[in-house]
Structure 1
Amino acid sequence: MRFQPTLKVLSDDQIYRIHQAALQMLMDPGVLVKSEEARRLLAQAGAEVDEKTMICRIPGYIVEECLRKAPSAFTVYARDCANDVHVSTTSVHIEPMIGRLNCYDHASRQALPTTLKDVGDLIRIADAMPNYHLLHSGAIMPQIDGIPIRATHAYGYLESVRNSTKPVKATSREKIMAEDCLRMVAVVAGGEAELRRRPCTFTTDNPVAPLHHDRDQMEGALLYASYGIPIDVTSEPQAGATSPVTIAGLLAQQTADVISGITIIQLANPGNPVWYGTCGSIMDMRVGRIAIGAIEMGLINVASAQIAHFYDVPCRGTASATDSKELDFQAGYEKTSVMTMAVLGGVNKIFYPGTMEGAMTVSKEGLVLDNEIAGAIYRVLEGIDVVDNTLGVQLAQKVGPGGHYLNQRHTMQFIRQEQFMPLLADRQIRERWEAAGQKNMVAKAHDTVVKILAEHQVDPLPEGTEEELKRIVREIEKREEKRS
């Protein structure tokens, strides 16, 4: 049995009003589309396109027809088929963050520039974590310390894919970078034809709030769509800064951003897999920056899932993030509260576990801690199985008044499926905890990191694959040296 999430923050009427408001925005003021290819697709479909201003006014009938073409379920394939991810409007999968400019150093408690070794370590940790399914990667990073900036995506993808057999994300940040990554992904897949048959990567297209599709990322996303590769179209509005301060206004504008992006992708390749994505939150006006651990992000996640499911497409949300600079109580409550809301609200892909400091920094220990939070919440999703054997009437008759259940076979039979067994949370008596070194969860997470990096083995890439990927990386680096 699996419990179906029931947390809702919008009525059906409110969802429809948000949808209608988004359609109104797409006609007036319209959306800025800097990609010539995307404008051509919109014009051919019947949108009003001003080539001088690049403003596109998209009628609702075009948007709604394209939304109907987007699938409600699809598969993201892995190089190990046991790790294939079957996405739907009822599934819940987690994508931890890997590619941030800084990586938290447990020993010094400092955020240090992320190195290529850090990328490999982070990916290998995520590969070992059972509650992570789709992996962000070094390919997404704008910079890796010690690596040529214009070749970061290539080095980052190679280091990621060689350290995991789960689906690894590739970048759409620029068309040329998308082309590079897709060359590399095709090598991993076994050729372009196999990549089209079994897309073994996914990517993100980020509209720029408010109402703006950047040329470079949109053209990169369209290249992924030409292969049928899943794309999460994710807007990142900040209430009061890049969207109205009201959450209803943020949701309406976010929806306009996202469904216009989905429309362009469906015009390019009808039926291409997409997620309706949100990374929306509030701007804390006291400090002048986005509050990524704010409880309002939980509200936005739940509402976004409802809107996505109104369109019958899966939802990508953002949770398990924190504004804290330490893995402390603030981090714990921000991560857990928003993550719980996202899961119980029906978000289908949850991004950002492992992050801290407003997602400016990623932590190896944070990946381990957030995996445990996810495991606890997954237990909630399993629900309560109420059948004759679990009700235990005959067992109670056997044990009788004043008895106990410690020696019953029924206890051993059901304990692991009924109870979540945390590996980091401490439940010992004080004396045993003191004897074991008085370690808190962060210290235990660090021990786990050390153990994984020493012992976790990842199946190597097929013979010749890594050598070919390295050749492509060298080729990209030489090309970029000439261009600069």
Structure 2
Amino acid sequence: VLEEIGIIFRDDAEALALWKEAGADVKGERVHFPKGLCRSLLKTAPSIYTQHARNPDRSVQIGGNATVFAPVYGPPFVRDLDGNRRYATIEDFQNFVKLAYMAPSIHHSGGTVCEPVDVPVNKRHLDMIYAHIRYSDKPFMGSVTAPERAEDTVAMAKLVFGDDFVENNTVLTSLINANSPMVFDETMLGALKVYSRHNQACIVTPFILAGAMSPVTVAGTLTQVLAEVLAGASFTQLIRPGAPVLFGTFASSISMQSGAPTFGTPEPSLVSYGAAQLARRLGLPFRTGGSLCASKIPDAQAAYESANTLNSTILAGTNFVLHSAGWLEGGLASCYEKFMMDIDQLGMQQKFCEGVDLSENGQAMDAIRQVGPGSHYLGCDHTQANFQTAFYRSNIADNNSYEQWLAEGEKTAPQRANELARRWLESYEAPHLDPAIDEALKEFIAKKKGSMPDAFT
């Protein structure tokens, strides 16, 4: 594919010149890659790196055996706590950042947790990055909607971490989508170049709706995914050898009757498994999956589609999981209730991934000896010492008797999730941020906003 068909690098003369200098055959905007060129360039990309958070205890390893959960990314709508579907606001954005900060099973604050349409398009990235910094101390993602917005993100990160630290460490992750099939456009390439030049991470991700943007077969889709990732990921190394880059894939199928995207189906899971193996072969960290569904409300369809997607994501050995919590309606809506339900499931998956404790305490031979045949373990010393942490305890699921459930109001899982979200937001306390840094960020934002008129397109 890379050699015979090629990849288009659209509206980016610099990218075409760099590829030509590297030995590729450039015909117009289409780049044909000699066999082995992309893999040779990727030898400088790290297989494991650390994304630093402003709170060092929140820093995360990307790659290896680590799995990092981050929230939903990109929806223009929210399903709010009053049951309304509406356009998202900056208050919603801040709320989701706060909830992600409070959730132990969310390791990363994510990026565009929803699109705050009440803020001008050309200025909202400033408020979004500030929200991640001010209302959380977990690592976060940068803006990719224009190169200058990526530069603003890096500048704000330098106010938090310092110039030298940012240039020599990774404090930002960015989502760089291929315009499948086999195109990288000027916007994504511009953001990629900014982040790579500053040693910040890029998740190069073909955005695939199989049957429309890739072949209908799993093997055909994997072939195209690999070609697009090889082209985009190796380009980061042309910009700055050693800059962190992830092998990403977002693969869904479509209904061949309506053309609508489908989620939780078998074929995208098989794509994830195959892509994960290819990423490991290339020595790159891997991103895929999440808690994806097509349902319009947090119902049974949302639950089983999300579970299907998340289970395959975990079993694939995914390193970075975007859309881990809050995704609804095929990614068009961020849902408060589903966010809370999803983070509960993430906690279960984290417990599952810890595996089996084979220590002396884990084997529990003393308990077996103490209890012996025909008795029970409820009161034995080992149970008393371990019962609080022995089993995962859901804060959403109802496991009480039918009578108790009736007495407590016959609440559904979404209702319990709604109540929990309200309690968390009411009890939220912001992490400490140095007042001098906070003031510098506010001054930067005010100066940037004052330098341009509002634009909503």
Q: Which secondary structure state, in structure 2, belongs to the residue aligned with residue 205 of structure 1?
A: strand
Give the one of 26, 36, 39 matched to 1:49: 26
Q: Please, which runs of 5 or more residues in structure 2 have no aligned partner?
A: none
1:29 aligns with 2:5: yes
Q: Deviations over 1:173-208 (max 9, x none)?
A: 21111112211121122x221212333221111111
The Cα RMSD (Å) is 1.8
Match of 2:57 in 1: 82
CA contact (8 A) 1:320 1:338 kept: yes
Instruction: Tell me, in whole angstroms, the C-alpha distance in 2 between the residues paired with 1:246 and 1:381.
Output: 30
Indicate whether 1:64 and 2:15 are aligned. no
C-alpha change, 1:178 and 1:435, in structure 2 (3 Å) is same
Other-structure match for 1:287: 258
1:101 alignment partner in structure 2: 76
* 1:214 pairs with 2:193: no
By how many angstroms is 1:406 displaced?
1.1
Contact 2:98 2:425 in 1 (8 A): yes
Partner deviation per Cα, 1:295-347 (whole Å, 9 max, x = no partner)? 32222222211111111111001220110001000000011111011101211
Match of 1:310 among 258, 263, 281: 281
Q: Secondary structure at the match of 1:28?
A: coil
The yes-or-no answer on 1:410 pairing with 2:382 is yes
State the partner residue of 2:415: 443
CA distance in 2, matches of 1:402, 1:412: 19
Distance in 2 separating the partners of 1:319 and 1:373:
11
Tell me the TM-score normalized by structure 1. Answer: 0.90
Q: Does 1:182 align with 2:154?
A: yes
Amino acid at match of 1:28: E
Q: Which residue of 2 aligns with 1:369?
A: 341
Counterpart for residue 238 of structure 1: 209
Partner of 1:336: 307
Pick which of 308-317 and 285-294 moved more: 285-294
The equivalent residue for 2:110 is 136
Secondary structure (helix, strand or coil) at the match of 1:26 reads: coil
Partner of 1:345: 316
The secondary structure found in structure 2 opposite 1:339 is helix
Residue 202 of structure 1: aligned partner: 173
Shift of the 412–299 alpha-carbon distance from structure 1 to 2, 3 Å rule, reads farther
Distance in 2 (CA, whole Å) between partners of 1:284 and 1:221 is: 32
Q: Is residue 265 from structure 1 mapped to residue 242 from structure 2 by the alignment?
A: no
Q: 1:468 to 1:418 in 2, by over 3 A?
A: same
User: Structure 1 CA distance, aligned partners of 2:321 and 2:455?
Assistant: 38
CA distance in 2, matches of 1:430, 1:482: 56
CA contact 1:298–1:339 (8 Å) conserved in 2 = no
Deviation at 1:29, TM superposition (A): 1.2
Query: How big is each residue's C-alpha offset from its partner over 1:268-312, in whole Å with a ceiling of 9 and x where there is no partner?
Result: 111111110011111212221222343322222222111111111
Query: Aligned-pair distance for 1:99?
Result: 4.1
Provide the aligned length of Structure 1 versus Structure 2: 454
Cα distance between partner residues in 1 of 2:183 and 2:72? 25
Counting only pairs closer than 5 Å after superposition, residues 116-135 of structure 1 correspond to structure 2 as: 116-135=90-109
User: Which residue of the other structure, out of 439, 444, 454, is the alignment partner of 1:472?
Assistant: 444
Match status 1:165 vs 2:142: no
Q: What does residue range 416-427 of structure 1 map to in structure 2 within 5 Å?
A: 416-427=388-399
1:411-435: CA deviation from partner (whole Å, max 9, x where unpaired): 1333344311111111111122222
TM-score by length of 2: 0.95
* Cα distance change, pair 468–387 in 1 and its aligned pair in 2 (3 A): closer
Task: Specify every segment of 5 or more residues in structure 1 that has no aligned partner in the other structure, as ranges.
Answer: 1-24
Q: Are 2:87 and 1:113 aligned?
A: yes
Among candidates 247, 257, 260, match of residue 218 of structure 2: 247
Deviation at 1:457, TM superposition (A): 1.1
How far apart are the structure 2 equivalents of 1:340 and 1:64? 30
Counterpart of 1:209, as a letter, is S
* d(CA) in 2 for partners of 1:102, 1:482: 21
Q: Which is worse superposed, 470-479 or 242-251? A: 470-479
Q: Per-residue displacement from partner, 1:198-234 (whole Å, max 9, x unpaired)?
A: 3322111111101111112112111111111111111
Residue equivalent to 2:370: 398
* 294-303 vs 340-349, greater mean Cα deviation: 294-303
Using the TM superposition, name which of 285-294 and 241-250 deviates more: 285-294
Deviation string 1:100-148 (CA, Å, 9 cap, x unpaired) is: 21111232x332111010000010001111111122234x86x523211
Which letter maps to 1:455?
A: S
SS of residue matched to 1:336:
helix
Aligned to 1:299: 270
Amino acid at match of 1:383: G
In structure 1, what is the Cα distance between the partners aligned to 2:303 and 2:455?
46
- C-alpha contact 1:98 1:122 (8 A) present in aligned 2: no
> One-letter code of the match for 1:281?
S
